[in-house]
Amino acid sequence: MNNTNIIVLNKINKSFPLTIGGTQQVLFDITFTIKSGEFVAIMGPSGSGKSTCMNIVGALDSATSGTYELYGKDITTMTADDLATVRNEYIGFVFQNFNLLSKRTILDNVMLPLLYRGMNINDRIRRSREMLKLVGLEKFETYFPTQLSGGMKQRVAIARALAGNPKLILADEPTGSLDSKMGNEILKFFEKLNRDFGITIIMITHEFEIAQYARRIIHIYDGHITYDGVVPKSEKTLLDSEKRHKK
């Protein structure tokens, strides 16, 4: 951990237009910083704004107001092209539903994002095989996603995220479609990536058991941060922070 702030969010607000007119505000003055090497869980009940927050952190969506710096770059004023470059350079994404291409082999799935980095075919194959080995799936490179279990699919998605050598992994409910055994394997793997490779991890979850794998919890409730600190001994601390907000 080298103590540099890699993410600096300052008073981020986000509203969505409603089809019936007007807007719905989903995030309110979201302010936090994340340092290189952290493993943070963004936790909160369903509908609290976690994914909206992650999409902004991942430069997939922009805030309505507020400022955001990622690796020293002002994200708020960037063009769509520049945002894509930043995403490619720094971030690996992992989603609940794996987002694999079902008609492509496992190897192809991992290789695909590397195409956008201008890597030649031999390097793409070599790099993707290395990543499949890292997640223990080197024997499955010719398989298709439908032939694999949920846990294996998520490992493919992680291999794909890692292939681009990201400094930061953003994972939105990565174990949400897995049983607890497969889920725990994925979470242990995140721990290893964070500990052994120094990759910063931001993981979204609505479950305290899962958030406990992180070393810090940012708790969001109704679009507000109600807790930001070390993982508390019990979930009650987080639920109490919601209650204080409701008052």
Contact footprint for Mg ion (CB under 5 A): 50-51
The entry of ligand ADP, Mg ion, none near residue 30 (CB within 5 to 8 angstroms by kind) is none
35/150 with CB nearer Mg ion: 150
* Smallest separation, CB 122 to ligand ADP (Å): 40
Residue nearest to Mg ion (CB): 51
Interface ranges with ligand ADP (CB under 6 A)? 16, 26, 44, 46-52
The entry of ligand ADP, Mg ion, none near residue 16 (CB within 5 to 8 angstroms by kind) is ligand ADP
Order the strands of the 39-43 sheet from edge to edge. Answer: 91-95, 168-172, 200-205, 39-43, 216-221, 224-230
51/175 with CB nearer Mg ion: 51
* Smallest separation, CB 139 to ligand ADP (Å): 35
* Smallest separation, CB 58 to Mg ion (Å): 13
52/194 with CB nearer ligand ADP: 52
Neighbours of 75 (CB within 10 A): 21
134/217 with CB nearer Mg ion: 217
Q: What are phi and psi of 59, to 5 degrees?
A: 60, 30
Alpha-carbon distance 57 to 79, whole Å? Answer: 15
* Smallest separation, CB 172 to Mg ion (Å): 6
Per DSSP, helices labelled H in the chain are 50-57, 80-90, 106-115, 121-134, 150-163, 180-197, 208-211, 236-246
Query: Cβ distance 42 to 203 under 8 Å?
Result: yes
Where do we find the tokens 């409910």? 173
Q: Which residues contact 74 (CB under 8 A, 6 or more apart)?
A: 67, 68
* Smallest separation, CB 203 to Mg ion (Å): 12
50/124 with CB nearer Mg ion: 50
The entry of ligand ADP, Mg ion, none near residue 116 (CB within 5 to 8 angstroms by kind) is none
